[in-house]
A and B are shown apart, each in its own frame.
Chain A
Amino acid sequence: MLRLSSLVRFVLTILPIVAGLLWVNPVDLWAHDGQGGHAGALRLELPEGKECVKSAEWMRRNHMDFLKHNRDQAVREGIRVKTDSLKNCTTCHTSREKFCDRCHTYTGVAPNCFECHHYPK
């Protein structure tokens, strides 16, 4: 008798929790729709200009190393190449929010560069 009542009590406490989880979860997932996260395809603002500083395919994979390499060259050796500077990205990818940040949010990276560096938008 004792066993049965505790089982009933157990089921009665678990049920609302499970129901609660089921109810909350879908809402949580829908909230991400279109706002970064992994819902749907990633849509980036098309850049101005015809070609990237390297091929788009290469840049997609290597822009982080490219930028950091240029950074070290510029700061430590004084080797400044106008076309490869961080500033130059802004001439074609005019909006950081709609290009860089959108992909970074999607892929879960948070470069801290723009705490210091200027990106017009």
Chain B
Amino acid sequence: MTMATLERRAVLGLAGALAAGVTLAPGMTLLAAPAERTEASAGRRWAMLIDTTQCAANCTACTTACRKENNVPLFGEPSRDIHWIRKVEIRDKDQRRPTVSLPVLCNHCENPPCVHVCPTEASFIRKDGIVLVDEHRCIGCRYCIIACPYKARSLVYHETKRGAESNPDVPIRSKGVVEKCTFCVHRLDNGQEPACVEACKGEGKGAMLFGDLNDPRSEIAKRVHTVATKTMRPDLGLKPRIYYQGL
């Protein structure tokens, strides 16, 4: 019985892999040709592992790539600027530990407080664990901004315009909606990695690892189970899916 189920699953898995395209590395597939139809899979749990020992203090490859990919504007007003991902420096007051630099982004929590407080169900958890804002439903009440302990969300305070360098594949924004990191969901659904991860592998030092925690063969699942990692404020019980190594 168990064998039969296993075989059936193996066969199904193979068929799935063939249908989905080329498997780059375990857990990370790249579509050979853009699929005609995609759907979020409830079996996946997207997560990120950031190796802070590989994150250089002066490197902004991830934040720059994010702004470019998602058309995230900079208004030049510190209190109102939109950040999907930002670089943070952590210093030990007693200087016993070295200063570390690391990116902070939406943690795509398993128990996201932002989703629980949203009065319009604009914030929601997608089947594959990604926490998203449906900007079509958002009324800009900002409860979620207050609820998020990671300061991952921003309200759009100003009108924005499309420019020649804007990414035409990604919408810009309306004044008065809340937005945040989407794990580049439009890229994921197209078989690509988030833009920050790609940039970190290119210009950066490869500190970011992205993948499916539910796939035991994926690099991230292996690393999370073998390397000492931390999440931010685990005491809050939100079960974040951004893991930090070397913190």
A77 contacts B36, C-beta separation under 8 Å: no
B90 contacts chain A at the CB level, 8 A cutoff: no
CB interface residues, A 4-40, toward B, < 8 Å = none
CB-based nearest B residue for A116: B171
Write the nearest CB–CB distance from A108 to chain B, whole angstroms: 21
B215 contacts chain A at the CB level, 8 A cutoff: no
Question: B residues within 8 A CB of A81?
Answer: 36-37
Q: Contacts A71-B136, A116-B135, A118-B168 given: A78-B173 contact, CB under 8 Å?
A: no
Total inter-chain residue pairs, C-beta < 8 Å: 54
Q: Contacts A71-B136, A116-B135 given: A82-B34 contact, CB under 8 Å?
A: yes
Digitize A81-98: 1 where CB-to-B-CB distance is under 8 Å, 0 elsewhere. 111000100000000000
B40 contacts chain A at the CB level, 8 A cutoff: yes
A3–B86 alpha-carbon span in the complex (Å): 82
Q: Contacts A71-B136, A116-B135, A118-B168 given: A77-B174 contact, CB under 8 Å?
A: no
Write the nearest CB–CB distance from A31 to chain B, whole angstroms: 30
CB-based nearest B residue for A73: B39
CB interface residues, A 31-86, toward B, < 8 Å = 71-72, 75-83
A78 contacts B127, C-beta separation under 8 Å: yes
A115–B173 alpha-carbon span in the complex (Å): 7
The 8 Å CB contact of B36, one of A75, A78, A83, A120, is A83
Write the nearest CB–CB distance from A96 to chain B, whole angstroms: 13
CB-based nearest A residue for B177: A116
Write the nearest CB–CB distance from B71 to chain A, whole angstroms: 9
Question: B residues within 8 A CB of A120?
Answer: 168
A116 contacts B172, C-beta separation under 8 Å: yes
Write the nearest CB–CB distance from B168 to chain A, whole angstroms: 5
Question: A residues within 8 A CB of B166?
Answer: 118
B128 contacts A117, C-beta separation under 8 Å: no
B79 contacts chain A at the CB level, 8 A cutoff: no
Residues of B within 8 A of A (CB): 34-40, 124, 126-128, 132, 134-136, 162, 166, 168-169, 171-174, 185, 189
Q: List 4 A-B pairs, minimum CB-CB distance, nearest first.
A: A78-B40, A116-B171, A118-B168, A79-B39
Since A76-B126, A78-B127, A82-B36 are in contact, a sample of 11 more A-B pairs with Cβ atoms closer than 8 Å, ordered by chain A residue number, is A76-B124, A78-B40, A78-B189, A80-B189, A81-B37, A83-B36, A112-B174, A116-B174, A117-B171, A118-B168, A118-B169
